[in-house]
Structure 1
Amino acid sequence: MKKLVAMAVPVAPGKTELWESFMNELQSKYKQQFADSRKKFGVRERTFIQKTPMGDLVLVTLEGEDPVKSFNDFTHGQDEFTKWFVEKVNEIHGMDIRVMNQEAMPTLVIDSEG
């Protein structure tokens, strides 16, 4: 049974253009590596931008058999794509996703179907 996890991550002030460039690279130069990475870890990723008066938020959903494990497995990868991805996230969001643990992951609190 597939599960879904969603994360809201603030974009650091002044980093929205850098985030947009990052997304463009993921959709062009790194498109195949991004798709292969998510397939390898058994997860589908969808990313959204939410503009708010308090700043921009990136909303990320991961869907798969165990999306939290997939996230953790990916972030600890040593290949060049993963290192580049983790570095970009740190630069844009000011957070090191390699050190996020189970307690830092979002918790589902309500589901209209369950």
Structure 2
Amino acid sequence: MSKLIAFATPIQEGKFQQWEQFINKINTDYRKEFSESRKNAGVHERTFLQRTPMGDFVIVTLEGDNPMSSFAKMSQTQDSFTQWFLGEVKEIHGMDLSQPMPGPEPQLVVDSK
């Protein structure tokens, strides 16, 4: 059975233009590598931009049999795409995805089913 998780992370102040370039590269130059890395990890990733008066946030959804395990697997891969991806995320969001995410796993609190 497929499981879905979501998490939000802020785009650091002054990093929005870099984030736009990052997303553009994922959707063009690195589209194949991005898709293959998620397929190899057994997860479907979707990313949303949420602009708010409190700042800009990215909302990431991961769907698969075990999204948190897949997330960890993706973050530990040593290929050049993953290393580039991890570096950009650290620079833009201040998150070191090569380390376990701090705090508990995101919790589903409402489901319309």
TM bin (shorter chain): over 0.9
Partner of 2:20: 20
Q: Tell me which residue corresponds to 1:96.
A: 96
Tell me by how many angstroms 1:104 deviates: 4.2
Q: Given residue 28 of structure 2, which amino acid in structure 1 is its aligned partner?
A: S
Distance 2:87 2:47 in 1: 18
Q: Could you tell me which residue of structure 2 aligns to residue 58 of structure 1?
A: 58
> Who is 2:105 aligned against?
105
Alpha carbons of 1:26 and 1:94: their partners in 2 closer, same or farther (altered >3 Å)?
same
- For normalisation by structure 1, the TM-score amounts to 0.93
For structure 1, the residue ranges without an aligned partner over 5 or more in a row are: none
Specify the code of the residue in structure 2 equivalent to 1:89. V
Unaligned runs of 5+ in 2: none
Tell me the CA shift for residue 102 of structure 1.
7.2
Cα-to-partner distance string for 1:35-84 (whole Å, 9 max, x where unaligned): 10011011111001000001000000011111110000110111111111
Residue identity in the other structure for 1:31: R
Q: Count residues with an aligned counterpart.
A: 113
Partner of 1:78: 78
Letter in 1 for 2:50: Q
- Equivalent residue letter for 2:71: F
RMSD after superposition = 1.3
Bigger drift between 29-38 and 94-103 goes to: 94-103
**AA at the equivalent of 2:13:** P
With normalisation by structure 2, the TM-score equals 0.94
